[in-house]
Structure 1
């Protein structure tokens, strides 16, 4: 490995480095002026004091080979990697031509997706999981390169940073985790963050992990550390932590006032430790450059920044009429069964069988499809409910494999793996039961943001499967459903089949579609006879298409999931006892929602009962009721009624579960009251 020092580094390289450091510092110091002039850049986190490590990160980045996940302080790092000052300013002042997101994402979040300088969120440290995921794809496809992710030392307090480092070590993934240690998490000193003075030492016992410490203020030590890290990660196919000791010369950001928590001695020390001035002094002391030569470089940097500033200021602002673009990509459009109503003329299959067969068929259809989750591939076992049974045996442990009990890691690495190539589609069991999914909600949010935040440049092609709902006596962590809580987050399709054929058809459409789909499965129906149905080969169901399970003219019952079967039973009872014909609409797809079918039914019946297993309070039915109350009020002859679970957790004892979850008795009474209204 080449060793860099002041004497053996050629003059051209030293000049380039000094130019980048001078240009970066000038831009770093100019950024706050845009806010003062009301031009933007309302968030700016200065990097001054991190100069050595950031220069080195950009210099070892290989465009076309590596993936780089910078954090919000990495201005010099992306400049060193090849981004122009104009591109950085466009992000800072949120112009329509901002490469990161066209003004959608926060300032100081720099990316260039075509180079795989990735768009990351403001939730610091979350992108470590994405780096691990893309590195997994690099290994699978025998791609030479590394994934590099960066953040401060305080981010290591986040659980998903631990999960990423643990997972990368366990899977032997070529990820470089750069920790830029400036001693503070905003105003919180390092001693309040971690027991070890050097946070990388928290991971010193990890197998397959190399840890390198360097002086992040020193250009040469940083270059040697990052060069060694990249070579080691590629040669050994293992992760590397580079802990760079830095100083933060200024405040955390323009909304922080560091004089409130740092004394004069400390401020004097960090100013004296300025890496840019140290590098300049070295260039002169060792006679590599003259004063005039350095001033010439400084003048060029100043001139280039001025030109970049003029061009960026002239760029157009974002068009507010475009805010609804890139929320969800266009899905796969089924062609074989466009009406979604196959003839029931064959042997019925259970939902478990239908899901298992569809997964296998889709894995044969697209060899770039992957599956992982907890407990899904161990010898003859295929998950708690055997839905993935036999898949690892057929498709191998590189495409179907167990994940750690770390829901963040499951979802976050799926997001990352999709970044490697858009042909990749990932199916994940986000948790063994939907009730256990909550630790991964941060990564769920990341997935829902990606397409919009990147201005359409990236969307993770993920089908997130969760065994959901009750009626099995599972209690708090095995009998709850979560669609009501997640439906408020734009950027995900949400489907909830009730029958085996719809489960198969929606799963196929999900896997073949671009974008992110939450696929909720009513586990009480996995092996039930009433949910079994004939499933044609290659069956497909379109998103946003409800199904009329039972036609009628007197009442519209709108439902999905487990309660579809309860509603069908109630409708038959109403018909036998009173001669009323209730129409039962199985939504199947919550987002997008089939308003056309719902509206047509309401126009016909003028009465609406909404039934779902989730809580009535703030449940998805409240949104349906609101839509109908606003858009279909003139057709209603009675108040809209809702039936669902009580506003309590689900109890374990059968008598408690029965008292909490909706049953046929409650549905029947509500329907009868409406019909008699």
Structure 2
């Protein structure tokens, strides 16, 4: 079933120069593909290699239809031939395979066989198979948003990765938004050793999507160069002219094992192995050129000899090329942030009318959207008439900035963050704010995209920075119970490549949000929802207030003990400190760290030099909470300042109960902080 694809290309219709160019590209790809395992045998590299042989027809077609610096291509780990066809050189392929510093994908930071060239819009994708479909959709959204009608996004993957839930989210989103994305399924019948009948009931996985509106599906023989070229020609043209998504389902064969760590003879019999070799696309194409008199044996041999020489030269250059330097590991973890000139320490003495934390967030978002027209926000339930999310943080934004910049997303957290990753690739000016989930507890389905996005900047050696702020309504004290009252920073702060901030007052909420949006890189912005409308969190907020990352704020000065805190418990610590002063004569210094990553160790250590006692207080569980990192840092780097062990106060190691009695028993409060402080003072 070809869905009425016109036959533009055939062995007779295509000019000889093009036919010979294609043979050169096919033979170059196959030569590199077959050479790759030798590097592993010699302990030189290419320790992961997924052969492309058997996928040659469709991969040649993908690469030929991709136009560098116009279209966007997301290849997967088996797409060696695709990248060669798109224009990557033998040198660039080998540099990637043996992880050289000159590897244009990312300087050897990513797994071998993950080919990319970001400077051409050949994107560096994850090893988590299929998750780049969401990034492709995000880029398709960018093309549509910026009225780019002469370009497409091409996303390539194996048929088994379509079983991943986020692939359905991606194609559903592309069809709903009518985006110019071509999804190519290269079907070789196996997901490593798992046959496709264990993946889907349909023999052709694309049939699972036949009910999607606005989605065209084209089936082709991925082993045949001309059928594949015609299918990709039709798909790209359709996606551009109709501004709608297309699936190309290409039937392929996998001639070799899944990868060099797989032994396909353990699950494929000899008949099958003979069959796949018989349907070798390269051999078939060569026979056709000779049979129809479109090339001579001498011409083809001349091309083959030229390729062999080219690959040898590329190998020599690769052997001499430098490896990555060990000291480079800390480069490109996260971009340098926006730096405030007006408020370098994140404090102010402004006078005026205090506003609540929720109003500070709303006004800051609007101010930043007015400042930068390339700022966008989406999430669940954030833009429906006069409602702006569950807590109305985004109220009035869609009315002022329109549906292209402020819009609802499906209830699919992976989709929300994954498309942010993709859209941010289009233009460095773009700033995206996503409400990652209505409550922080619901963010877990997005964890794969979160992890993916944290290491994009490092993995690409600084070539791509996801400029995204993830807003999450966090914490308890609202009687929400499971999925509505947890704090998640203890888990989410463990990944390099993301800043994590957690304000306690309205001015810090405004200042940190402004800095997050203006900065390059990924920021996790946790909002204590119990304080949204709380009078105790209300403050005066100066216009254009900014708070730098990694700068704590001393909320109360003292000399006998240091309380280190953030979020909801900052106010409890201040209450406890006042009681300790009045009732016990103990003067406590309260440090609101505001920024968990980066952390202001200098302010903490300076305080401990003075007080000699550290009490860490946060809402999260004590076991596994972020306070454990604080305690370890103090023990390792400030131990000589202490006259007592570091003490911690936090939630019990249980889920959060819905009944208010259970919640109160689980979460920290002022009395629990008082008791811990008095115990610490006695030591």
What TM-score results when the alignment is normalised by the length of structure 1? Answer: 1.00
Bigger mean CA deviation after superposition, 1-10 or 181-190: 1-10
Residue equivalent to 1:65 = 70
1:81 lines up with 2:86 in the alignment = yes
> What whole-Å deviation, never above 9, does each CA across 1:38-95 have from its counterpart, x for those lacking one?
1100000001000000000000001121000000000000000000010000000000
1:647 lines up with 2:639 in the alignment = no
Is the contact between residue 344 and residue 533 of structure 1 (CA under 8 Å) also seen in structure 2?
Answer: no
Is the contact between residue 435 and residue 471 of structure 2 (CA under 8 Å) also seen in structure 1?
Answer: yes
Is the contact between residue 69 and residue 119 of structure 2 (CA under 8 Å) also seen in structure 1?
Answer: no
Q: Residue 481 of structure 2 is aligned with which of 458, 469, 475?
A: 475
Structure 2 CA distance for aligned equivalents of residues 64 and 492 of structure 1: 28
Structure 2 CA distance for aligned equivalents of residues 399 and 244 of structure 1: 36
Structure 2 CA distance for aligned equivalents of residues 4 and 185 of structure 1: 31
Structure 2 CA distance for aligned equivalents of residues 555 and 427 of structure 1: 38
1:398 lines up with 2:404 in the alignment = yes
Residue equivalent to 1:90 = 95
> What whole-Å deviation, never above 9, does each CA across 1:152-198 have from its counterpart, x for those lacking one?
00000000100000000000000000000000000000000001110
> What whole-Å deviation, never above 9, does each CA across 1:204-228 have from its counterpart, x for those lacking one?
0000000000000000000000000
Q: Residue 339 of structure 2 is aligned with which of 327, 333, 340?
A: 333
Residue equivalent to 1:14 = 19
Residue equivalent to 2:251 = 245
Residue equivalent to 2:491 = 485
- Note the 1:281-320 alignment, pairs <5 A: 281-320=287-326
Residue equivalent to 2:530 = 524
Residue equivalent to 2:469 = 463
Structure 2 CA distance for aligned equivalents of residues 256 and 199 of structure 1: 24
Residue equivalent to 1:421 = 427
Structure 1 CA distance for aligned equivalents of residues 288 and 659 of structure 2: 74
Q: Secondary structure at the match of 2:373?
A: coil
Residue equivalent to 2:50 = 45
Structure 1 CA distance for aligned equivalents of residues 421 and 7 of structure 2: 35
Q: How many residues align?
A: 677
Structure 1 consecutive aligned stretches of length 4 or more whose deviation exceeds 2 Å: none
1:354 lines up with 2:366 in the alignment = no
Q: Residue 432 of structure 1 is aligned with which of 419, 422, 438?
A: 438
Residue equivalent to 1:661 = 667
Structure 2 CA distance for aligned equivalents of residues 335 and 296 of structure 1: 64
Structure 1 CA distance for aligned equivalents of residues 58 and 286 of structure 2: 16
- Unpaired segments ≥5 residues, structure 2: 1-5
Residue equivalent to 2:509 = 503
- Unpaired segments ≥5 residues, structure 1: none
Q: Residue 120 of structure 1 is aligned with which of 113, 125, 130?
A: 125
Structure 1 CA distance for aligned equivalents of residues 402 and 315 of structure 2: 53
Residue equivalent to 1:163 = 169
1:30 lines up with 2:35 in the alignment = yes
Is the contact between residue 361 and residue 393 of structure 2 (CA under 8 Å) also seen in structure 1?
Answer: yes
Residue equivalent to 1:545 = 551
Q: Give how far 1:339 is off.
A: 2.4
Structure 2 CA distance for aligned equivalents of residues 169 and 338 of structure 1: 46
RMSD: 0.7
Q: Residue 100 of structure 1 is aligned with which of 105, 129, 150?
A: 105
Q: Residue 200 of structure 2 is aligned with which of 194, 210, 221?
A: 194
> What whole-Å deviation, never above 9, does each CA across 1:549-596 have from its counterpart, x for those lacking one?
000000000000000000000000001101211000001000000000
